[in-house]
Amino acid sequence: MPAESQDGSKTLSRRDRHGLERMSLMCGICGQFNLKNGKPVDTEVIRAMMRTMLHRGPDDEGEYLSGPLGFGFRRLSIIDLGGGHQPMSNPDRTVWVVFNGEIYNFPVLRRELESRGYVFRTRSDTEVIVHGYEEWGVDVLHHLNGMFGLAVWDEKARRLMLARDRAGIKPVYYKLEPDRIFFGSEVRSILAGTGERVELDPVSLNLFLRYRYTPAPLTLFKGVRKLAPGTRLVIEKGECREERYWNYKAEPFSPMPSVEQAESELLDLYKQAVRRQLISDVPLGLLLSGGLDSGLLLALMNLDGTDHKTFTVGYGKSFADDELSEAAVTADALQARNYQVRIDRTIFESALPRVMSCLEEPVASASVVPMYFVCQKAREEVTVALMGQGPDELFGGYKRHLGVHYGAWWRTLPSWLRAVLKQGLSLLPRNASIKRGLYSLDVPDRMRRYERVLSIVSADAVDSLFKDGLCPTDADDRILDCWDGLEPLLRNMDELGGFNYLEVRSSLPEEQLVYADKLSMAHSLELRVPYLDHDIVEYVERLSASFKIRYASRKWLHRRLCRRFLPPEVLRRKKKGFASNVVDDWFRNSITGKIQETLMDSASRMYEYLRPEAVHSLVRRHQSGESDNHKILFSLVVLEEWLRHFTSK
């Protein structure tokens, strides 16, 4: 039987539940709070929510119920394998925490809190959140260096706080109803809690088709929202407030550091972040591509010892953009072991439905399937892996960043000259990206300009796909609402810096980081992202664009630092995108087989919302070579897989 405390609350551990079914399926949190009527939470509802997240935490489970509040938890043990059980409380059981992620500075915080009189019972990083909340209240978030999705219940204040880390590495979803809220690391747990049928939100669908992801706080699940990076939701006295706690306003350095100084200071920050994130009581490795960013990570890991395990995905030597051989060369040069997994088009297409199921939210990046398989391979050898996401958004590593950086020059040209140049460029075949780029750079309003740079197709093109009356006319502008409050924070930054600031807080977490979390958790693997340590982010955001792009050379300062550690052949390699270019080529050059059938079948589920003739026109124009529609077509295939899995007729 569960242990019952004097206050009537109940806590159950895995040891209490030998009779419950265990499935073979990092951590996951979930919960319910009846914020107005005070009705007790049903234990079976919390258990049903927990069962949807077995893959996220095969090592431990726990729950806490106290009247209108219920917490559930699944755990993948990384630190303090025997003593990190959750939900965790302070000694008098007035503060309770469920937490998904890692707090990298927990040893420092623990010493600080011990000096203030707090006594620790475990070596777990969760306990620093418990005592940190006792000391600093909701401002404990400002003291945490790490990745996290967490919930804190303050029994005395009757306050619930949900929070997502600054970089948005760990997601937090919630559904707020008039008298209750459900929340979790995954949407599935919320659906299990409410028991309601899935409905699609047309505005979110419109934004997904424009950007390949759904910006926070929206999701495709009608009524289900997600916390934006660096935000928290606080509920007390029957009222809710969602607020941005990471309000970092990037003020440019004055004076700017010299190149040598900036390089030295950046290297110190890189070293500190990697050293913090190597803390683990279980095997740890690295996802290794053939490029600079993961290669530099491996070199920095070597400062604390060599012979690391690295993992690479690819398509084989028959593809010019394959990275298997290049990653092997990097691993050999840096004294690491390299484990490889090879996939082909058949594997890609057959795995796509499974991958969409794991993602929950559709993300139409060509990297999703390769990421699924490289995480699967890594989990065979390690429990934790580092990955090299971040420098492209921080330093301007994509082609679009050249347009953003030099766009100011374009806008200084006389309007007649710009019109002539655009007319000439419009005659090029399959020129959608060029036209979209020029269209974006002409927009005078800064945030709207950024909005259009990030989109893969124009608002008019997306609107034309929808059936009449389904989507509001201003759906394409809703992303500006999602970015509410960010413009004043980036106002003093240059054009490229402001765009990077927005990417780090929107497209990076909601596209790349969300699929990295979901697909790694599908295999009970924890991924860490050292380059997104907030000390690094805040430092780089104070640097001018001259440290990021020089003479059309992207990631200039980062690349300069890489020269200290990586051999010349690695430095010369072109960017390949973790096996994504091969997939882009498949869609760019041929739409055939199952994919074509999905798009051309008028019975496909997407046509409950979209006009078949509009989609078929996209396919025909792509196949004829009239336009390059491979990105929007892949988005439509991903949408169809999502609809088939999560909605029912």
Question: How confident is the model at residue 577, as a pLDDT?
Answer: 58
Grade residue 536 by pLDDT with cuts at 50, 70 and 90.
very high
Q: Please check the confidence at residue 91 and state whether its pLDDT lies above 80.
A: yes
Q: What's residue 588's pLDDT?
A: 61
Q: Could you tell me which residue, 649 or 260, shows the higher pLDDT?
A: 260
Given pLDDT bands bounded at 50, 70 and 90, which one contains residue 186? very high
Average pLDDT, the chain: 88
Segment 168-180 shows an average pLDDT of 96
Please work out, in degrees rounded to the nearest 5, the angle formed at the alpha carbon of residue 168 by the alpha carbons of 433 and 272.
105
Rg (CA), the chain: 24
Out of 3.60.20.10, 3.40.50.2300, 3.30.200.20, 3.30.460.80, the CATH code matching 3-244 is 3.60.20.10
Q: Pairing mode, if any, of strands 526-528 and 384-386?
A: parallel
The percentage of the chain sitting over the pLDDT mark of 90, rounded to a whole number, equals 70
Rounded CA gap, 192 and 172, in Å? 16
pLDDT band at 423 (very low <50, low <70, confident <90, very high): confident
Amino acid 4: pLDDT: 37
Report whether pLDDT(434) > 60. no
Q: Give residue 421's pLDDT.
A: 79
pLDDT at 172: 98
pLDDT at 105: 95
Confidence label for 590 from pLDDT (cuts 50, 70 and 90):
low
Domains 3-244 and 259-343+356-395+506-574 fall in the same CATH topology: no
For residue 410, the model assigns a pLDDT of: 81
Q: Which two tokens stand for residue 230?
A: 């660096």
Where does the pLDDT of residue 131 fall: very low under 50, low under 70, confident under 90, or very high at 90 and above? very high
CA 228 to chain centre: 10
Of 196-205, 255-264, 441-450, minimum mean pLDDT range: 441-450
Q: What pLDDT score was predicted for residue 188?
A: 95
Helix, strand, or coil (residue 334): coil
Full DSSP string of 524-576: T-EEE-GGG-HHHHHHHTTS-GGGT-BTTBSSHHHHHHHTTTS-HHHHTPPP-
Looking at residue 380, what is its pLDDT? 96
State how far the alpha carbon of 331 is from the alpha carbons of 211, 306, 310, 328, in Å.
34, 11, 7, 5
What are the pLDDT digits (tens) for 464-494? 999 999 988 888 789 999 999 999 999 999 9
Q: Which residues contact 177 (CB under 8 A, 6 or more apart)?
A: none
Which range (131-135, 168-172, 274-278, 408-412) has the least confidence?
408-412
User: What whole-number distance in Å separates Cα of residue 432 and Cα of residue 435?
Assistant: 5
Pick from 43-52, 74-83, 113-122: least confident:
74-83
pLDDT tens column, 605-618: 999 999 999 999 99
**How confident is the model at residue 42, as a pLDDT?**
97
- Note whether 210 and 452 are within 8 A (CB): no
Give, in order, the Cα–Cα distances in Å from 489 to each of 301, 346, 375, 426, 531.
34, 46, 36, 36, 21
The pLDDT value given to residue 180: 96
pLDDT-based confidence at residue 517 (cuts at 50, 70, 90): very high
Enter the tokens of residue 558.
């980062």
* Complete DSSP assignment for 249-285: --PPPSSPPPHHHHHHHHHHHHHHHHHHHT--SS-EE
What's residue 2's pLDDT?
Answer: 37
Domain spans in the chain, listed from the N-terminal domain onward: 3-244, 259-343+356-395+506-574, 398-502
Residue 632 reports pLDDT greater than 80? yes
Q: Which of 106-120, 404-418, 454-468, 580-594 has the lowest mean pLDDT?
A: 580-594
Kindly report the backbone phi and psi dihedral angles of residue 298, in degrees, each rounded to the nearest multiple of 5, phi listed first: -60, -45
Cβ(129)–Cβ(100) below 8 Å = no
Whether 160 shows a pLDDT value over 80: the answer reads yes
pLDDT of 204 > 80? The answer is yes
pLDDT above 70 as % of the chain: 88
Distance of CA 397 to the CA centre of its chain: 18
Of the ranges 172-181, 398-407, 441-450, which is most confident? 172-181
Confidence of residue 621 (pLDDT cuts 50, 70, 90): confident
pLDDT at res. 76: 61
pLDDT band for position 57 (50/70/90)?
Answer: low
CATH superfamily of the domain spanning 259-343+356-395+506-574: HUPs (3.40.50.620)
pLDDT (tens digit, 9 = 90+) per residue, 336-362? 999 999 988 888 889 999 999 999 999
- Highest mean pLDDT range out of 22-26, 60-64, 520-524, 594-598? 520-524
Which of 35-39, 420-424, 644-648 has the weakest average pLDDT? 420-424
